[in-house]
Amino acid sequence: MEIYKGEKREQYIQQHSIAHLFASSVEKMIEVHEYKRDEWIIWEGQRSEYLFYVMEGKAKIYVTHQNGKASLLNFVHTNEFIGEMELLHEVYYTRGVQAATRTVCLALPFHPCRSELLEDAKFLRELTKVLSVKATIMAERYSQTLAYPLENRLADFILQTADEGLYREKHVIVCDYLGVSYRHLLHVLAQFCEKGYLEKERRYYLIKDEESLYRLAGMLKN
């Protein structure tokens, strides 16, 4: 993880307008953190010291069950918060958040900022919007599992998790997230390769026909 300092931090904040997010009084406390793919932004069970706002990249939220099995819960995209539940609740079991690509976040330290953020009408209004969108997406994902075949849902998943044209998620995680069997997943991946959407390369897949994947994934949003 890299923390932008001095001129690099100032240039980044100037290039990315955040006036709609926070009162100007907290801007001086904002840090800029950059994470490489697969780096942990928050370790599961470890309380975060920051509220994050994703400016570039995307991340994945994981939880580990009592039997030791890890499950992918959701994705975090640009213009979304990480750690908002920890901000709102003093006692909260923190999920693991891992960068899916190179990810750059604004980071506000909880200790000096918590009271001010919770009294900031501008911030709370923006947070409410983000939370409502998250709730809607979770409900839609459940209904999509029942209404659409794996081809559409897998295309969407590949596009969400791909990094620089490469798809390399573990099959067991994908099966759990999409609610399908290992065999069914491999069958559809083989079909995608036959149709020229993907090309298998050792332990990962090259995306060869992104347009076709977007067309399949787009059916979920119609």
pTM of the model: 0.84
User: What pLDDT shows up at residue 150?
Assistant: 93
User: What pLDDT shows up at residue 92?
Assistant: 67
| Average confidence (pLDDT) per 10 residues, the chain, 222 residues | 92 81 78 95 87 93 84 89 83 83 93 85 87 80 76 94 92 92 96 96 93 91 65
Cβ(56)–Cβ(79) below 8 Å? no
Residues 64, 96: Cα–Cα separation, whole Å: 9
Tell which residue, 118, 101, 109, has the closest CA to residue 47.
109
Domains of the chain: 2-142 (2.60.120.10), 148-221 (1.10.10.10)
SS3 of residue 26 by DSSP: helix
